[in-house]
């Protein structure tokens, strides 16, 4: 029997079993084809409040278990990620528009995160404290309580499990809010794996939902820690709200990383690495190569080579054939990327390759002579766009 064969999860949220979400349901849409893959339940602020209360109650008993029992659950979860890897990878390819190799990387990482987490429960014992009185003083490290995890669509499994697994291992309960666009591979999969691994009810809750559900998690006083991965704008709001409540908050936000190509660079391998850096998973990666800074002596050859590389990359349905790029996640993301490209061209950038799309399939794009104040240089693109700028010193 496969991980997702039980129909109980269809149209439901994971809150003390598969239950109806207060915000209704949402179709799970395959971005490459537009096909409907299933339905998920949607949570709202009321569900988040109910989950926080249940998680706070369940956490106490979970934390009181011998650490060996928590470690055993994590080891079983790691084994289950390996056993069900093909099932989960199917969903990562279909639901997130990922290449098979990227999906395999995610399931491998999920298993390893759980194996690593299995070593954590015995670690936070505490420390002896120095003091002037003739007595033994000790500081004990204890679980934080309820941890809220808000995860994005681009690497839905990795960016969920890397927070969920260690938090659970250390005796916390977790409320996971996956992005509704990838709520099966980034949410349902975790609920099913940990259910089968023997995690007690209430210790993990999975609430796909919108901003209202996320806001409720951040503001609920029973949620002591927030782990958020997403856009810089949303992260500012999460950080501010958590700070008002004096909560611990972990933020991984956007980026605009650069590759710097010096005059002694060997171009062929450099171009291959730079193209992969900009176009991996359609550029929907926070640490993608967002800017190419190239010494002027190599500039024209580099631009020409990068454009040739981009034009040669096949774009299509990652489930059907040998492609290098799949679809962007949805129409909103595609339109945002295309608008940024068009505004950059209007600002003076030169379009050398790409700049066009078919449905959600956006061609890998190379922009040369990009002004430093153009959107493609100054902003995070989150699409398959490589802005190239020369430098002299």
Asked whether residue 125 carries a pLDDT value surpassing 90, the answer given is no
Q: Report the share of the chain in percent with pLDDT over 90.
A: 96
Q: Using alpha carbons, select from 240, 204, 17 the residue that is nearest to residue 117.
A: 204
CATH architecture of 7-252: 3-Layer(aba) Sandwich (3.40)
pLDDT at residue 221 in the model? 96
What is the per-residue pLDDT across 271-320, written as a single tens digit (0 to 9) for each?
999 999 999 999 999 999 999 999 999 999 999 999 999 999 999 999 99
Asked whether residue 48 carries a pLDDT value surpassing 90, the answer given is yes
Cβ-contact 365, 355 below 8 angstroms: yes
What is the per-residue pLDDT across 168-205, written as a single tens digit (0 to 9) for each?
999 999 999 999 999 999 999 999 999 999 999 999 99
Asked whether residue 12 carries a pLDDT value surpassing 90, the answer given is yes
Measured CA distances, 176 to 50, 220, 225, 303 (Å): 13, 14, 12, 43
CA 304, CA 49: separation in Å to the nearest integer? 55
Pairing of strands 204-206, 173-177: parallel
Q: Report the share of the chain in percent with pLDDT over 70.
A: 100
- Outline where 18-66 has alpha helix (H): 45-64
Query: Is 252 noted as a catalytic residue in this protein?
Result: yes
Output the six-digit token pair for 17.
């079993």
pLDDT at residue 126 in the model? 87
Cβ-contact 242, 249 below 8 angstroms: yes
- Degrees (nearest 5) of the Cα angle 136, 127, 169? 135
Give residue 3's pLDDT band: very low, low, confident or very high (50, 70, 90): very high
Mean pLDDT of 20-31: 97
pLDDT at residue 188 in the model? 98
Q: Which CATH number fits domain 257-391: 3.40.1280.10, 3.40.960.10, 3.40.50.300, 3.40.309.10?
A: 3.40.309.10
pLDDT at residue 330 in the model? 98
Give residue 67's pLDDT band: very low, low, confident or very high (50, 70, 90): very high
DSSP 153: S
DSSP 52: H
pLDDT at residue 1 in the model? 80
Please pick, among 286, 300, 301, 380, the residue that the annotation labels catalytic: 286
pLDDT at residue 345 in the model? 98
| In the chain, domain spans | 7-252, 257-391
DSSP 138: E
Mean pLDDT of 138-161: 96
- Number of Cα atoms under 13 Å in the Cβ half of residue 173: 27
pLDDT at residue 215 in the model? 96
Mean pLDDT of 207-212: 96
Mean pLDDT of 69-86: 98
pTM metric for this prediction: 0.95
Mean pLDDT of 246-264: 96
Please pick, among 82, 252, 304, 379, the residue that the annotation labels catalytic: 252
What is the per-residue pLDDT across 342-378, written as a single tens digit (0 to 9) for each?
999 999 999 999 999 999 999 999 999 999 999 999 9
């Amino acid at each position: 029997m496969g991980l997702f064969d039980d129909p109980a999860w269809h149209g439901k949220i994971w809150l003390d079993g598969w239950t109806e979400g207060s915000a209704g349901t949402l179709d799970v849409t395959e971005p490459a084809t537009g096909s409907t893959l299933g339905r998920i339940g949607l949570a709202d602020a009321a569900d988040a409040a109910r989950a926080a209360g249940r998680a706070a109650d369940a956490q106490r008993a979970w934390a009181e278990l011998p650490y060996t029992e928590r470690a055993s659950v994590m080891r079983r979860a790691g084994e289950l990620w390996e056993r069900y890897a093909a099932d989960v990878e199917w969903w990562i390819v279909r639901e997130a528009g990922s290449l098979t190799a990227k999906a395999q990387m995610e399931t491998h990482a999920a298993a390893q995160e759980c194996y690593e987490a299995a070593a954590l429960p015995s670690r936070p014992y505490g420390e002896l404290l120095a003091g002037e009185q003739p007595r033994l003083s000790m500081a004990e490290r204890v679980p934080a309580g309820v941890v809220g995890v808000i995860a994005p669509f681009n690497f839905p499994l990795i960016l969920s499990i890397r927070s969920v697994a260690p938090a659970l291992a250390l005796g916390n309960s977790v409320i996971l809010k996956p992005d509704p666009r990838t709520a099966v591979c980034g949410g349902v999969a975790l609920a099913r794996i940990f259910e089968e691994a023997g995690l007690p009810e209430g210790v993990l809750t999975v609430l796909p939902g919108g901003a209202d559900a996320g806001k409720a998690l951040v503001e609920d006083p029973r949620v002591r820690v927030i782990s958020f991965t997403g856009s810089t704008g949303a992260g500012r709001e999460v950080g501010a709200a958590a700070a008002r409540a004096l909560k611990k908050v972990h933020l991984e936000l956007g980026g605009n990383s650069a590759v710097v190509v010096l005059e002694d660079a060997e171009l062929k391998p450099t171009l291959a690495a730079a193209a992969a850096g900009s176009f991996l998973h359609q550029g929907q990666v926070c640490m993608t190569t967002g800017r190419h800074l190239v010494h002027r002596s190599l500039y024209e050859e580099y631009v020409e080579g990068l454009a040739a590389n981009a034009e040669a990359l096949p774009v299509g349905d990652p489930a059907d054939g040998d492609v290098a790029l799949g679809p962007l996640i949805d129409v909103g993301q595609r339109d945002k990327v295309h608008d940024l490209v068009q505004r950059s061209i209007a600002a003076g950038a030169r379009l050398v390759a790409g700049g066009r799309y078919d449905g959600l399939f956006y061609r890998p794009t190379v922009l040369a002579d990009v002004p430093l104040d153009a959107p493609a240089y100054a902003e995070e693109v989150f699409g398959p766009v490589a802005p190239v700028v020369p430098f002299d010193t």
